[in-house]
Structure 1
Amino acid sequence: MKGETIARAWGVTRQDGLVLGFTDHDRVLEFEGISFRPECGLSAKAVVQSSGLSVDNTEAVGVLSDGAITEVDLLAGRWDSADVRLWDVDWSNPSNRRLIFRGRLGEVSRSGGAFKAELRGLSEPLNRTQGRVYHPRCSAELGDRRCCFQTEKPGYSAEGVIHSHDEGQSFRLTGIAGHEARWFERGELIVQSGAAEGLRGVVKLDLPQSGGPREVELWSGLGLHPQPGDRVRLITGCDKRAETCRLKFLNFMNFRGFPHLPPEDWLIAPQVNR
């Protein structure tokens, strides 16, 4: 490829399947089934890549645009973990191109009418802790392939309507009854309708009120605030204790912890009478 005909092109695929293309060239480029548009103001800092297992490091910066990346979508988290591909491409012959980066969007920050997004390379997951942890509490996530519990079972989820909320974090819900206090703690709240549809948060506090709306508080507020009248779904949570697995979920045969593991005090106690 000749240096004077080289342009950068970005392909970004959101988790909901929306695909957008951007380029620093002054005309639209077409390849990979994507139209790469020049007017969206997306660019990148220098890509830092390595041959080892360290994480590729770069950032994408751009201008918020109603036709492409909107502030509402960023606040709603709809760009979180979007798949990103970056090419060097010969704009005079787009078939002559080279993929130089692939990864996902990480943390997104905003300032005025612009945004900045961290890009994480494909090697980033290799830095996560691997292997099994021996602990009295369960190491599985509720409903995953190791837990095997089906959260769709009657009684383990409920749908209601938002009566009111504070900053998208503390909600008062109507239409949810028959569940004891704290039943949904550590579970999820998922917005089912309205502008914030699809957003979800982890439940910190769940308290039914006698004759009034159920109060549900999230650990962190939703990026985009739902409105009163929007429908939400609550999914029960698990505190990963053996007793909870046995009594609440009737799923002790799939418990992935070690409830009879000696406590730390026992391990450091004197070796007398053992």
Structure 2
Amino acid sequence: MTMPEGLTNHLGQAVTSVCHCWRLTRADGAVSGHTDHDRSLVVDGTTFEPESGLSASEARASLGLSVDTVDVEGPLSSERIRDVDIAAGLYDNAKVETFLVNWMEPQHFALLRTATIGKITRSGQRFVAELESATHALDQPYGRYIGRACDAELGDQRCGVALAQPQFSGSGTVTAHTAPDMLTVSGLAGFEPGWFTHGTLSWTSGARAGCSERITDHRRDGSGVMLVLAPSSGAPMVVGDAFSIRAGCDKAFATCKAKFANALNFRGFPHLPGNDAGYSYVTEGGVFDGKPVVP
């Protein structure tokens, strides 16, 4: 990192007027600025707000490929950082740029580090965000695992299923909310029970509009069609909220063939023998005709 000449000269003085600024860029492109100074600053074209009251722990920069971290703490009172947005995952993997700024002359600043938000913990009306250095991207699994289940996401480029087709998508409205993650809905009466299990639900109206949920169960009982969502936090769901929905897949080869007619694009290894077959031995009455283990 190279300090600009103006900031370097200022840091060489007996008395300095520096502060930290943090620019957050969320995955959806929203940008916000926060500073530990007591007034707003405009730095590098971004306005950094003081009311967020962010403060940072001691930072370190290590040699090698170890992941360096620094914690940023602040209240949930800012209009820019809300508890419901954190719960909805809008700040997951957001980019955070940390600046050292001369608040007397904001044009003199230096970019100290660029990191991404990792773990976020909340306590009362405060949050602590762990900022991970760029080397954390090296600590990720790359390549594929060899297994019987498909490792593609339904509808992505590797899968190839067009989920926009009427038989794989639908829309509806919440008619009852009987449990935290259990909904009774309308609009899905024409689909077989289980058709949307493991699928996704995207809210098109209400407090959660724009958010998506994973469906763990789709069934029908005496009260109508019911959807069970994966546990989540955020704004409450209410009667009248509208949604769109996409079919689900359990990643099995049989489902890929029967439900989606997409066996040629199956991204797993369904005929792979398991450990039981690998360590077995020939026995009388066994079938050894060379046919696939999974039809």
Q: Tell me which residue corresponds to 2:69.
A: 57
Secondary structure of the structure 1 residue equivalent to 2:166: coil
The 1:39–1:157 alpha-carbon spacing in structure 2 relative to 1, beyond 3 Å, is same
Q: Over residues 28-73 of structure 1, what are the superposed CA-to-partner deviations in whole Å (9 max), with x where a residue is unaligned? A: 2212321012222112112233343332312221112252222232
Q: 1:94 aligns with which of 106, 119, 122?
A: 106
1:266 partnered with 2:277: yes
Question: Match of 2:278, SS?
Answer: helix
> TM-score under structure 2 normalisation?
0.84
Change (3 A) 1:80 1:6: same
- Residue 18 in 1 paired to residue 30 in 2? yes
- Residue type matched to 1:203 in 2? I
2:240 maps to what in 1?
229
Q: Is the 8 Å Cα contact of residues 52 and 78 (structure 2) preserved in structure 1? A: no
Counterpart position of 2:92:
80
* Structure 1 residue ranges without an equivalent (≥5): none
Query: Structure 1 residues 60, 174: closer, same or farther in 2, change over 3 A?
Result: same
Structure-2 change in CA distance of 1:181 and 1:13 (3 Å): same
> CA 1:152 to 1:21, structure 2 compared with 1: closer, same or farther past 3 Å?
same
Aligned to 2:249: 238
Instruction: Confirm or deny: 8 A CA contact 1:169 1:222 kept in the other structure.
Output: no
Q: What are the equivalent positions in structure 2 for 1:63-212 lying under 5 Å apart?
A: 63-166=75-178, 168-209=180-221, 212=223
Q: Give the aligned residue type for 2:90.
A: R
Note the aligned Cα RMSD (angstroms).
Answer: 2.2
Measured after TM superposition, the shift of residue 166 of structure 1 is: 4.4
Aligned pair in 2 of structure 1 residues 164, 105: CA closer, same or farther (>3 Å)? farther
Partner of 1:41: 53
C-alpha displacement of 1:173: 1.0
User: Percent of aligned pairs with the same residue?
Assistant: 37
CA distance in 2, matches of 1:252, 1:142: 13
For 2:5, the equivalent position in structure 1 comes to none
SS in structure 1 at match of 2:118: strand
Letter in 1 for 2:24: V
* 1:138 and 1:241 in contact (8 A); partners too: yes
CA deviation map 1:114-165 (0-9, x unaligned): 1222223322232122112111111211122211222112111111111122
1:214 equivalenced with 2:225 (yes/no): yes
Normalised TM-score (structure 1): 0.90
| Aligned-partner residue type, residue 199 of structure 1 | C
Q: Quick one: distance in 1 between partners of 2:283 and 2:61?
A: 56
What amino acid is aligned across from residue 148 of structure 1 in structure 2? G
**More divergent stretch after superposition (249-258 vs 24-33):** 24-33
Give distance in 2, aligned partners of 1:226 and 1:55.
39
Match of 2:261 among 240, 245, 250: 250
Letter in 1 for 2:169: S
Q: Distance in 2 between matches of 1:269 and 1:6?
A: 70
Is the contact made by 1:188 and 1:234 (CA closer than 8 Å) also made in structure 2? yes
Say if 2:33 and 2:49, in contact at 8 Å, map to a contact too.
Answer: yes
CA contact (8 A) 2:85 2:234 kept: no
Q: Which runs of 5+ in 2 are unaligned?
A: 1-7, 289-295
Give yes or no for contact 1:201–1:222 (8 Å, CA) kept in 2: no
CA distance in 1: counterparts of 2:129 and 2:179, whole angstroms: 24
Q: 1:46 to 1:164 in 2, by over 3 A?
A: farther
Alpha-carbon distance in structure 1 between the residues aligned to 2:127 and 2:273? 50
Aligned residue pair count:
273
